[in-house]
C-alpha cells in the first residue's frame, strides 16, 4: 500500500487533504518489526515519532520488583514516541512489537516542522495526549483500590455475567444485591462496598439507579479490573 493511503488511518492526519498528506508522507520512512522486537528502550534518546500502520505494540515500564507493567497497547492508526521529541527528555517507556508490525517514522526535525506547518495536527495531538492523560489518571485511581475493592469489582463482573442486560451498549444489572450481601460475597465490610461503589461511580465506570447498576463500558471495565 502507498504511504499516503497508510497515513489516512492515522487520526492525527484526518483533517488533511491528499496533497498535504503526500507532503508529509514524503518525509516518512517505513520500518518492520517482528513479535517481541524492541522498537526502542526506556531512557534512550528520542529521535523519531512512530505511526502504527499494521500490527500492534505494547508500551511498557519495569516495576521496582522487575515486573513488566504495560501502560497501553497501540494499534493501527495510533502513534507513539512523540513525548521525547516534544520535551527533549529521554524515552519515557519501552515499546515492543506484539506481532508483525509496520510503522512509519518521522524524524525529530520533520515532526516539529509538521506541527508548525499544520496547526490542525498540533491540535489533534494535544487532544490525543489529553485523552491519554485521562486514561492514565483512571489507571492510577484503580491502582489505589485495595484487594477488597478489587474483589468487589469481581463481584460486579459476576453479577453482569449472571444477570446483565445489554442496553444501548452498556450492561445493566437490574437487581444488584444489597451492599451487605456484596460485602459478604467479597469478604469485606458494607462500608468498604459503599466506598468502592462511590469511587467507581465518580470515575464513571458505573452508574446507579436504585438497585440497578449500569456498567458504562463493559469491555473497559473488564480490562481494568479482571486481571
Q: In the complex, which residues of this chain contact ligand CMP (CB under 6 A)?
A: 46, 59, 71-72, 80-84, 91-93, 95, 132, 136
Nearer Cβ to ligand CMP (83/154): 83
Would you say 136 or 198 has its CB closer to ligand CMP?
136
Q: Tell me the C-alpha to C-alpha distance, in Å, between residue 49 and each of 60, 211, 212, 222.
A: 17, 48, 46, 31
Contact 106, 114 (CB under 8 A): yes
Q: Which is nearer to ligand CMP, 95 or 200 (CB)?
A: 95
Would you give the distance in Å from CA 115 to the centre of its chain? 23
Minimum CB distance to ligand CMP, residue 115 (Å): 14
Q: Name residue, grid cell 466506598.
A: 195
Q: How far is the CB of 42 from ligand CMP (least distance, A)?
A: 7
**DSSP symbols for 161-195:** HHH-EEETTEEEETTPPPHHHHHHHHTS-HHHHHH
When the beta carbons of 98 and 185 are compared against ligand CMP, the nearer one is 98
Residue 85 Cβ vs ligand CMP, minimum distance, rounded to whole Å? 6
Nearer to ligand CMP, 78 or 149 (CB): 78
Tell the smallest beta-carbon distance from residue 211 to ligand CMP (Å): 36
Environment class of 223 (CB within 10 Å of its CB; exposed 0-12, middle 13-18, buried 19+): exposed
Amino acid at each position: 500500500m502507498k504511504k499516503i493511503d497508510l497515513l489516512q488511518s492515522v487520526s492525527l492526519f484526518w483533517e488533511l487533504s491528499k496533497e498535504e498528506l503526500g507532503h508529509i508522507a514524503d518525509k516518512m520512512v517505513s520500518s518492520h518489526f517482528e513479535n517481541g522486537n524492541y522498537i526502542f528502550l526506556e531512557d534512550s534518546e528520542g529521535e523519531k515519532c512512530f505511526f502504527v500502520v499494521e500490527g500492534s505494540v505494547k508500551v511498557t515500564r519495569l516495576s521496582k520488583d522487575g515486573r513488566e507493567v504495560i501502560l497501553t497497547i497501540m494499534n493501527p492508526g495510533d502513534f507513539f514516541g512523540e513525548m521525547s521529541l516534544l520535551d527533549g527528555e529521554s524515552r519515557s517507556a519501552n515499546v515492543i512489537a506484539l506481532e508483525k508490525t509496520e510503522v512509519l517514522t518521522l524524524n525529530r526535525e520533520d515532526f516539529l516542522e509538521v506541527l508548525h506547518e499544520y496547526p490542525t495536527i498540533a491540535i489533534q495531538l494535544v487532544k490525543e495526549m489529553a485523552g491519554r492523560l485521562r486514561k492514565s489518571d483512571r489507571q492510577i485511581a484503580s491502582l489505589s483500590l485495595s484487594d477488597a475493592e478489587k474483589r468487589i469489582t469481581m463481584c460486579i463482573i459476576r453479577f453482569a455475567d449472571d444477570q446483565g442486560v445489554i442496553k444501548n451498549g452498556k450492561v445493566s444489572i437490574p437487581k444488584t444485591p444489597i451492599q451487605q450481601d456484596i460485602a459478604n460475597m467479597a469478604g469485606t465490610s458494607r462500608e468498604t462496598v459503599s466506598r468502592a461503589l462511590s469511587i467507581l461511580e465518580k470515575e464513571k465506570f458505573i452508574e446507579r439507579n436504585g438497585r440497578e447498576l449500569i456498567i458504562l463500558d463493559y469491555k473497559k471495565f473488564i480490562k481494568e479490573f479482571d486481571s
